[in-house]
Structure 1
Amino acid sequence: MLWRKNSSAGILIAGTGVSGTSLNKFSTTGGLKIDSQGNIYVVDHGNNRVMKYAQNATSGTLVAGISGVVGSNNSLFDQPYELDLDENNSYIYIADLNNNRIQRYQFGVPDIGITVAGGNGPGSNDNQLYWPTDVCISKKTGDLYISDFANHRIQRWSPGATSGVTVAGVTGISGTNATLLNGPFSIALNHNQHRSSQVNKSNQKRHRTLVRIGLIVVWIVLFIVVYYMSPTNDDNLEEFDPFLILDVDEEASNNDIRHAYHELSKQHHPDQGGDPENFKKLVKAYKILTDETAKENWRMYGNPDGQKELHLGYAIPL
């Protein structure tokens, strides 16, 4: 039945309301899924089959199992319960309750199923299921999630795996606390959450990229600031000009420099009442201008010892 929102009555879209084995009837129905084309897939577990109803169809098409026949081979079911669709790969997955397995059928091939989980008899081992009642496929990974009813657990089987992993509940133990399940019957996956996770990962990656760019910009700005505050800046060079201190021009000979130094020393020597700091500058200026290498270094780099490298430590996260 189809019940539209706020409707007071339903619309019959599959079956007749009378039990039967013909293609327009059901015996006892189980799971139901609707594909992207609007086709309805119904588990008719009383008839051990899965039926497909196209839109507005008055009878169904057999897509898995053989009507009214119970069995354990790959063409038959023993009370199928729920199903899920993998439209990307044209597969239908069916929980085969009493055969303790999950069967996969190709769309359009109703008589050949493949066991993809369980099928090793009822039991609680990782390669067994005990009354699986529901199955869901992850659109993201292809993993199957199975309600393993009698084992009180949810199992995850990866594609091609020969055993499952318990992802909820404790095998063989039922209970009501937060770690236990009691006969889990149905299961559903939030596929939107998978997409949301991808969006979040994309946003996180974008955020990390912006952080890296920001750190690089900060490092460049810091380098520029430190560079212009370093002693090699022209403004700082003017604070100590040996030619200005000795009051000689740049073409002055060593004799002129020596004469100027001696005359100024008489005025600024601390023993003569001069300022010690000014005298230190005087001595420094004299040493620079009487050493050709030091003089040239000062002219080029503002430092008698030559160019000084600016060392900055930095770290850019990868």
Structure 2
Amino acid sequence: INGIYWNTTGTLRAGTGSSGTALNKLSSPTGIFLDSSDYLYVADSGSYRVLKYAPSVTTGTLIAGLTSVSGTTLDLFSTGIRYIFVDSSQNLYVADTYNNRVVLWPNGASTATIAAGNGTFGTSFNQIYSPYGIWVDSSSNVYVAEYQNQRVTKWAPGATTGILLAGVTGSAGKQNSEKYMYDIIEIVVFNQSRREKSEK
């Protein structure tokens, strides 16, 4: 029989199965990223932080946010961080959903900069509204799936405005519509013969 097979018994990489704020526990994780060196990154939304796990280690290291503290300053997250992305230099991008921004935490930094949006929700192209899925290409362009705006925008490094790639701002579509979109939560980027997809 041809096909792909996997181990039917899972291996624990993070968390204990019970909620908590200790570094070996998670609280409502909403996003993960696995890099090429098998380091696991977890958006621990209920504790307002991102943890990093070395291979075969089940206790995480806090790399972004402050445990159990939410806020709008650039060292904190809102109550609903979503998806995360880590580039080849181990810089961390986080969809800070309810703060309506995507933030960039350079590797080893104690605070972030804004990579997309301005921290307020709206339909203008200097704003984003409920970012969910994100993707970052090799040129550090940030692609954002805006759940409430029903659109995908692209933000160049250092840009204060994004450009529309897909959807019609604020207009949900039907299943047979190519122009309008509804409840977008992930992004797929096609690059010649290679398909790159944001994590769910």
TM-score (norm 1): 0.57
- Please give the per-residue CA displacement for 1:70-100, whole angstroms capped at 9, x wherever unaligned: 1000000002100111124x31110000000
Equivalent residue, structure 2, for 1:114: 113
- Please give the per-residue CA displacement for 1:93-114, whole angstroms capped at 9, x wherever unaligned: 10000000000001222x3111
Does the Cα contact within 8 Å between 1:126 and 1:163 map onto a contact in 2? yes
Structure 1 residue 39 corresponds to structure 2 residue 39: yes
One-letter code aligned to 2:131: P
Does the Cα contact within 8 Å between 2:115 and 2:142 map onto a contact in 1? no
Give structure 2 stretches of 5+ with no counterpart: 196-200
Does the Cα contact within 8 Å between 2:12 and 2:58 map onto a contact in 1? no
One-letter code aligned to 2:86: L
Residue among 138, 144, 151 paired with 2:142: 144
Does the Cα contact within 8 Å between 1:94 and 1:102 map onto a contact in 2? yes
Residue among 163, 167, 172 paired with 2:161: 163
One-letter code aligned to 2:167: G
One-letter code aligned to 1:108: G
Structure 2 counterpart SS, 1:98: helix
Equivalent residue, structure 2, for 1:127: 126
Residues in 1 aligned to 2:192 and 2:61: alpha-carbon distance in whole angstroms: 31
Equivalent residue, structure 1, for 2:85: 84
Residues in 2 aligned to 1:191 and 1:62: alpha-carbon distance in whole angstroms: 33
One-letter code aligned to 2:132: T
Does the Cα contact within 8 Å between 1:91 and 1:107 map onto a contact in 2? yes
- Please give the per-residue CA displacement for 1:241-263, whole angstroms capped at 9, x wherever unaligned: xxxxxxxxxxxxxxxxxxxxxxx
Tell me the matched-pair count. Answer: 189
Shift of 1:125: 0.4
Show the 5 A alignment for 1:250-261: none
Shift of 1:178: 1.1
Does the Cα contact within 8 Å between 1:39 and 1:55 map onto a contact in 2? yes
Shift of 1:193: 3.6
Does the Cα contact within 8 Å between 1:138 and 1:191 map onto a contact in 2? no
Equivalent residue, structure 1, for 2:61: 61
Structure 2 counterpart SS, 1:43: strand
Residues in 1 aligned to 2:12 and 2:178: alpha-carbon distance in whole angstroms: 40
Shift of 1:7: 2.6
Equivalent residue, structure 1, for 2:152: 154
Does the Cα contact within 8 Å between 1:120 and 1:127 map onto a contact in 2? no
Structure 2 counterpart SS, 1:154: strand
Q: Going by fraction, where is helix more abundant, 1 or 2? A: 1
Shift of 1:120: 4.0
Q: 1:45 to 1:191 in 2, by over 3 A?
A: farther
Does the Cα contact within 8 Å between 2:75 and 2:111 map onto a contact in 1? yes
Residues in 2 aligned to 1:17 and 1:175: alpha-carbon distance in whole angstroms: 38
Show the 5 A alignment for 1:183-194: 183-190=183-190, 193=193
Shift of 1:6: 3.4
Residues in 1 aligned to 2:92 and 2:115: alpha-carbon distance in whole angstroms: 11
Residues in 1 aligned to 2:182 and 2:132: alpha-carbon distance in whole angstroms: 13
Give structure 1 stretches of 5+ with no counterpart: 196-318
Shift of 1:116: 1.4
Aligned CA RMSD, in angstroms, stands at 1.7
